[in-house]
Amino acid sequence: MFLWTDLVELVRHPFSALAVIDARRRLPDGLLALGLSVVLPAAVAELAALGPFRPPANLGTLPSLTAQGADIYARWVYMNRFVVPVYGIAISTVLWIAAGGLIHVIARALGGRGSFAGLMKLLGYAALVGLVTLPVGVADALLKLTGIARAELSVGQLAGLLSVAIFLWQNALLVIATRRHYAISTERAVAAVIGPIGAVLVLALALIILAITLAIIAQQPA
């Protein structure tokens, strides 16, 4: 239960909560937090996958090739809807660990004295903050099952906005955690966090583009 208490404290009092986590929690606690942050959203995605296929909306306003690509990609995602969340667990875990490794290397190069294990503990808790959006994700999944299109669109847009806000908040927490754990200045902590996160975003975008390309190629007649 302490994970949920820590999550609430991270939302209410992030500075003091990170200090407590850094002092009292262990690496397995952080890894458990990281695991929950990637597994629970995937479980919600599996629930949403039980819903019927719905073609992308407003394709008529897009250029023909773009509309064709979006439709093919949506059908590919639907055909693989039960597998994609499983891939998402693996990819998200790798990206978080890669980001942690890069932050550690840069922070140490900037004069920091912290350990990689300590950073991963704090990183796991920063990832755990993403579960704040889980109730909205569950609501979106239930709407997909019931087929209430208008409400589904509104909740989906809300989920997207919350995801962006949580992503920014997670990065702020990582800056605070890096500054504290490595005993470096805020400016150096920002440099240590923003660079790796940017690299991870580029990698994630490349993976998305690759998935879309492969989906379009797979749908082309032989």
Can you give the residue range of the structural domain that contains 22? 2-219
How many domains does the chain fold into?
1
Residue 132 has what DSSP assignment? G
What is the end-to-end Cα distance of the chain in Å, rounded?
Answer: 54
In percent, how much of the chain has pLDDT > 70?
82
Q: Are 195 and 102 in contact (CB under 8 A)?
A: yes
* Of 110, 127, 115, 119, residue with least CA distance to 33: 127
**Cα 130 to Cα 41: distance, rounded to the nearest angstrom:** 9
What is the per-residue pLDDT across 28-86, written as a single tens digit (0 to 9) for each? 999 999 999 999 999 998 988 888 877 666 555 555 656 666 667 777 778 888 998 99
Give the chain's mean pLDDT.
83
Specify the higher pLDDT residue, 82 or 155: 82
